[in-house]
Amino acid sequence: MSTIYNFCAGPAMLPQAVMQRAQSELLDWNGQGVSVMELSHRDPSYIALAEKAEQDLRDLMAIPSDYHVLFMHGGGRAQFAAVVNNFLGDGGQALYLVDGSWSSIAADEAEKLVGKTHIDRLNIVNKTDELSQVELPHLHGINKDYRYVHYCPNETVDGIEIFDELDSPWPIVADMSSTIMSREIDVSRYGLIYAGAQKNIGPSGLSIVIVHQDLLTLPSLPQSSIMDYRLAVKHGSMYNTPPTFAWYLAAKVFEWLKDIGGVSHIAAVNKQKAALLYDCIDQSDFYVNKVSIEHRSNMNVTFYLVDETLNSVFLEQAKSAGLVALKGHRMVGGMRASIYNAMPLEGVQALVKFMMAFAAEHGQ
């Protein structure tokens, strides 16, 4: 079988070594004679797996001891609601910074739950001549008593990434679904980090929540027990049956990332991959990227063919070359190459080679 490089934004490709390990253990995990997905989450061997997964994640991200790590249901969208329900009781207010599609949807969800009078939105992207430019606000100049400020450091649809640290007088809640562990961050600057698993962690259906213990003292709204962070802490993320196979695969991804050198190593590889692809786009008059250079995503590279009548031909020929899932999000069109941690450098090199050949064949 020829090599296939999967550029899907999510569910995204997993490291080949992890998939091979899971394949070899599928029918008999840990000498149990059964698959890990058939084993009780209360079994001592599974508890040990879960505890190691948490410790590996703590090691990879240097998570301080006063933060709780939760393995939750529902992906990133579930956390849009959970954050509101856990922290905005008793009339609490929050600020939502909007830099793309997902941060806007998160704000929509918050408004639906507590009403627009309790949620302030601040658009932090200017678009001039079809170029997206992020402008981080001076939050200390806002005279409001917010419970938290929410933002999304990497917008998968729009190909925008915020690399600068946000300076905030209120706890920062960050949706890091598509950027977690892709580069080093200082976890202590955040009140809460959440991430859907299906990009840099594992399969869909699982989400990771990293929350400072002080936020759990805030008043909550009435909510379902399954999304209550306090109950999740109390029960070790096992208030009910968790997505055990997804948790297992996440644990394998954490092991893989530690084995290859950790976040600092993968961050260097990610920068190399992104630079290679953006250089290809910039050096050609056949392709164009519409994000300011300083805010171009290292994870989701969006680009357009100058002649968009060639889009379908580009996608068909790319697929034939083993380069799949390059179609841009339906809301913005164009192309998108998602190059998360699991995408090897060779995959980006293959894409660049194809793009240069396609431009040479179809260019004027």
- pLDDT tens per residue, range 134-144: 888 899 989 99
Q: Where a domain ends, among 259, 288, 317? A: 259
- Of the chain, the percentage scoring pLDDT greater than 90 comes to 90
**Taking 90 as the threshold, does the pLDDT of residue 23 lie above it?**
yes
ω into 11 cis (within 30 of 0): yes
Which domain CATH number covers 209?
A: 3.40.640.10
Which domain CATH number covers 332?
A: 3.90.1150.10
Average pLDDT for residues 88-115, to the nearest whole number?
96
Residue 1 lies in a domain: no
Report the distance separating Cα 238 and Cα 222, nearest Å. Answer: 20
**Taking 70 as the threshold, does the pLDDT of residue 197 lie above it?**
yes
Q: Where a domain ends, among 206, 230, 259? A: 259
Same domain, yes or no: 143 and 213: yes
Secondary structure of 290-311 as H, E, C letters = CECHHHECCCEEEEEECCHHHH
Same domain, yes or no: 330 and 348: yes
Q: Where a domain ends, among 259, 284, 302? A: 259
Cβ neighbors of 94 (< 8 A, separation 6 or more) are 84, 87, 88, 110, 118, 119, 120, 146, 147, 148, 149, 150
Q: Give the residue carrying structure tokens 């698959």.
A: 35
Same domain, yes or no: 306 and 212: no
**Taking 70 as the threshold, does the pLDDT of residue 364 lie above it?**
no
Same domain, yes or no: 214 and 305: no
Q: How many distinct structural domains can be found in the chain?
A: 2
Report the distance separating Cα 134 and Cα 94, nearest Å. Answer: 21
> With contact defined as beta carbons under 8 Å apart, do 113 and 221 qualify?
yes
**Taking 60 as the threshold, does the pLDDT of residue 228 lie above it?**
yes
Report the distance separating Cα 86 and Cα 223, nearest Å. Answer: 8
Q: Is residue 175 among the annotated active site residues? A: yes
**Taking 90 as the threshold, does the pLDDT of residue 75 lie above it?**
no
324: exposed, middle or buried (Cβ count in 10 Å: 0-12, 13-18, 19+): middle
pLDDT tens by residue, 229-243: 999 999 999 999 999
Give the pLDDT score at 129.
64
Residue 8 lies in a domain: no
Average pLDDT for residues 193-210, to the nearest whole number?
96
Phi, psi for residue 91 in degrees, rounded to 5: 75, 20
Same domain, yes or no: 136 and 199: yes
pLDDT tens by residue, 304-345: 999 999 999 999 999 999 999 999 988 888 999 999 999 999
CA end-to-end span of the chain: 35
Tokens of 26: 């599928």
Average pLDDT for residues 2-10, to the nearest whole number?
92
Report the DSSP beta bridge partners of residue 209. 70, 194
Residue 221 lies in a domain: yes
> With contact defined as beta carbons under 8 Å apart, do 122 and 113 qualify?
no
Same domain, yes or no: 69 and 167: yes
Residue 126 lies in a domain: yes
Residue 7 lies in a domain: no
Which helix (H) or strand (E) element contains residue 170?
none
Q: Is residue 199 among the annotated active site residues? A: yes
DSSP 3-state of 113: helix
Same domain, yes or no: 70 and 178: yes
The one catalytic residue in 158, 175, 252, 327 is 175
Bridge-based pairing state of the strands 323-324 and 5-6: parallel
Q: Is residue 129 among the annotated active site residues? A: no
What separation in angstroms does the CA of 351 have from each of 176, 274, 344?
26, 12, 11
Same domain, yes or no: 247 and 273: no
Same domain, yes or no: 267 and 230: no
Residue 78 CB coordination number (10 Å): 19
Give the pLDDT score at 299.
98
The one catalytic residue in 56, 99, 102, 327 is 102
The one catalytic residue in 199, 252, 273, 290 is 199
Residue 4 lies in a domain: no
Arithmetic mean of pLDDT over the chain: 95
Same domain, yes or no: 241 and 102: yes
Cβ neighbors of 173 (< 8 A, separation 6 or more) are 83, 148, 149, 150, 151, 190, 191, 192, 193, 194
Same domain, yes or no: 225 and 297: no
**Taking 90 as the threshold, does the pLDDT of residue 2 lie above it?**
no
Residue 9 lies in a domain: no
CA Rg value for the chain: 21
Amino acid at 94: A
Same domain, yes or no: 95 and 214: yes
> With contact defined as beta carbons under 8 Å apart, do 110 and 58 qualify?
no
Residue 2 lies in a domain: no
Domain hosting residue 87, numbered range: 17-259
pLDDT tens by residue, 252-282: 999 999 999 999 999 999 999 999 999 999 9
